[in-house]
Amino acid sequence: MRKIIVTEFITLDGVIEAPGGNETPHPHGGWTFKYGYNSPETGKYKADELASVDTLLLGKNTYENFAAYWPGQTGAGFAGPINRMPKYVVSHSLKKVEWNNSHILRDVAKDVAALKEADGGDILVYGSATLVKALLHHNLIDELRLMVFPVSVGGGLRIFDDNRELKKFGLKHSRAVDNGVLILEYLPIG
């Protein structure tokens, strides 16, 4: 069975953001670049992470941001693999997707579970806060990777809402990088 691996850039106060910081109108957007995303160690971690999977699973907003940016990029580290590999976007409103090798899924519980059972390598989820919340709710995440930045921004997108659901995780791996960022890898328990 394929694994679903969720990877997030996250602040000490639980806010997630993509490296560009322009996805939401947040007054402190772009904190990933300001506080260490561009270090060689974090860059290598992210490149190795992408190289370890063969499929992307994205929420609608993340998909649309990626589809607007990545098709015009080149390079072996990120652009080449991202543009080549299959991409699945979970959306009720999208009618079609035009980015190379993209597919629409409608039902998180049914369609994502079937994707996990299909042939292929592991599946990576970037960002996609709404999708990640649904994956957590349906116990479809096999690994949660958090790159914790030493900053608090006071609010924004979160993957852990106040929904009173108990989810337990065991620490698989941790390390601190030279810029104060913590890389934490968790496996769900139960």
For 84-141, the pLDDT digits (tens) are: 999 999 999 999 999 999 999 999 999 999 999 999 999 999 999 999 999 999 999 9
The residue-averaged pLDDT of 143-168 equals 89
Whether this prediction's pTM lies above 0.85 is answered by yes
- Domain chopping of the chain, boundaries: 4-21+28-189
Mean pLDDT, the chain, rounded, equals 91
Cβ partners under 8 Å of residue 102, min gap 6: 63, 67, 86, 87, 88, 89
Band of the pLDDT at 188, cuts 50, 70, 90? very high
**56 pLDDT higher than 90:** yes
Q: What are the pLDDT digits (tens) for 57-87? A: 999 999 999 999 999 999 988 999 999 999 9
Cβ partners under 8 Å of residue 62, min gap 6: 18, 126, 127, 128, 131
Distances, alpha carbon 114 to alpha carbons 67, 68, 106, 154, in Å: 24, 28, 12, 37
Domain 4-21+28-189 sits in CATH at 3.40.430.10
21 versus 72: the higher-pLDDT residue is: 72
